[in-house]
Chains A and B, each alone.
Chain A
Amino acid sequence: MKNKRFAIVLDTRKCIDCKACTVACKAENNVPLGRDNYRNWVDEEELRGRYPNLGQSFSPSQCQHCGNPPCAHVCPTHATEVNDDGIVHVVAKKCIGCKYCQTACPYNARYYNEEIGAVDKCTFCAHRVYSGRLPACVETCPTKVRTFGDLNDPDSEVSRLLAKHPSRVLKKAQGTKPFLFYLI
């Protein structure tokens, strides 16, 4: 989509590690079963404190739809493409399965999908977004951790959240310019 820049803003303080996002994503995008096969995930951060004063945070994530995506730079056949709206996706028929993108992605956001015969990853559920719906992970989250929207629209909820709250991106030093923002 032209003149849009899609992004997700996450408020991880709301995450309860239910993994509904992962299940919804798998169901929506026909992600095969198996240890390696997932497009999004929830990482458990280190336990804080000592018993009985304990705390733990969870960090859901997925492809960062980077503004400077290393996966696209390294792909020998241009199988990884970036849409005008910033969505990074794989053209399955061009993927040779060299897995260079998997070694290049600093977020471990890619896996090889044996069923489609290509490397697979989050597409922000482009097929839903282009028909006016939200990505499956965003829609299903019971505590509304994720907010999806267009950063080019200053009135969108993602723009307003980022204006209102400080945020961070993952591995900023890599220079990948991620479009998943974590509220601090």
Chain B
Amino acid sequence: MSILKHRPSLPVWFALLGVGMIAGLFGVGSVLLHGHAEVYNVTREIPWGILIATYVFLVVSSTGLCLVSSLGHVFGLEHFEFIGKRAILLAILTLLCGFGTIAMELNHPIRMAIYAVISPNFTSAIWWMGTLYGIYLVLLCGEFFFLMKGMHKGAFAMGMLGFIAAVSAHSNLGAVFGLLESRPFWHGSFLPIYFIVSALASGGAIVSLIVYFHHKASGTPMPQRYTDFMGTLGKLQALFLTILIFFVIWKIIPGIYGHPPEKYEATMAVVNGPLAVNFWLFEVLIGMLIPVTLLLNRRTRTPMGVMWAGVLSTFGIYFMRYDLVIAGQLVSMREGAGDLVNGLLQYTPSLVEVAIVVGAISTCLFLYTLAEKILPLESD
């Protein structure tokens, strides 16, 4: 009753997440009963859909949380030390929910567990992705254990290794796309680098949410050091987002300049095609321009302003992942393949795909909120 009395928003929050998780269960049940072909809208031409985009979003969030938290307990920026436990815990949960999402996209996750071990292909970026993220998960768990036990040397060592694993795993995720010569929109060394930069922006945004809502939920006023931290994080986040804007601009210009075959059509699908609303409204305006404006203006760089910038950029970054994954596949590999509309292939996520996405994100938030209740995450 005391929970209801003091924090009426908590039961509502759990109820919302409960609905999301039930939707996820419905999605998982549907795909297990009917099969991928029946309930997913992915096709022969566009085999990777919203589940892959969500997987990328979740693991980018995980990497970002790890990188931003490492600023404190690995690189010694004192301001960032106290977020360690929460950031690493959420990094573990986002990674696990990311794994769950990709498991629903794979037709045979159990075969993967067997044949990735007994028949590994070292030239496959997906093999490296599984291996590196596996190592990364173990290191994150070790780091979290040491942080909880207050063993700083262990946490530092694990944090340092985790940092290296995060950068390796995540740049390799960029390479999963970047090594595909058949997909000019993705191909090249741009994506591995871009993935690291965007992970920083993602991580910074989520850390601001963790700190703000922790105090909001507990109903206690934010202490001065947290207010100071939000200010510092806001400045850092402004820098991350500005660099991200720079990367987005240099992703678009070479895709249009000189009309490079296939790359041009894919880039135009983003700029002035089926993904244009996602790009201009969600990615550019909501995901980058409004947050950067909030963060660069001293008057709006309050804890609440930084939180809003975090909410908006996290939302925008989700669309960034979706657009990246889908745009790379919209151009047909051959004339006459698929049902083309304005020269492009079509993909709209199915209800079941969306339900699984909602379920994965709800589960992640539910587990984190639960951990906040159970575990002593407050730092000294």
Contacts and interface: CB of A to CB of B under 8 A. Distances in A.
B106 interface: yes
A94 B124 CA distance: 14
A76 B182 contact: no
A76 B111 contact: no
Interface residues of B, number: 41
B336 interface: yes
B335 interface: yes
Given A43-B336, A100-B126, A104-B180, A77 B48 contact: no
Contacts of B130: 76
A76 B109 contact: no
Given A70-B181, A102-B44, A111-B44, A95 B333 contact: no
Interface stretch (B112-120, B220-228, B267-275, B280-288): B112-120
Contacts of A111: 44
Interface string B345-369: 0000000000000000000000000
Interface in B99-145: 105-109, 111-112, 115-116, 119-121, 123-127, 130
A103 B181 contact: no
Given A76-B130, A102-B44, A174-B181, A96 B335 contact: no
A95 B114 CA distance: 11
A102 B126 CA distance: 13
What does DSSP make chain A's interface, helix, strand, loop or mixed?
Answer: loop
A79 interface: yes
A174 B328 CA distance: 16
B108 to A, nearest CB: 5
A2 to B, nearest CB: 23
Contacts of A127: none
Instruction: Say which size band chain A's interface belongs to.
Output: 35 or more
Contacts of B123: 73-74
B276 interface: no
B112 A108 contact: no
B182 A77 contact: no
Given A74-B124, A76-B130, A97-B107, A107 B334 contact: yes
Contact of A108 (B45, B109, B126): B45
Interface of A: 34-37, 41, 43-46, 59, 61, 70, 73-79, 93-100, 102-108, 110-112, 114, 117-118, 170, 174-175
Given A43-B337, A70-B180, 16 more contacts: A37-B44, A41-B337, A45-B335, A76-B124, A77-B115, A77-B121, A79-B119, A94-B119, A95-B107, A96-B109, A99-B48, A100-B176, A103-B180, A106-B181, A108-B334, A112-B36
Interface of B: 35-37, 42-45, 47-48, 105-109, 111-112, 115-116, 119-121, 123-127, 130, 176, 179-183, 328-329, 332-337
27 contacts: A36-B37, A41-B336, A41-B337, A44-B335, A44-B336, A59-B336, A73-B123, A74-B126, A76-B126, A76-B127, A94-B115, A94-B119, A95-B108, A96-B108, A97-B36, A97-B108, A98-B105, A98-B106, A100-B124, A100-B176, A102-B44, A103-B47, A103-B182, A103-B328, A118-B107, A174-B182, A175-B181
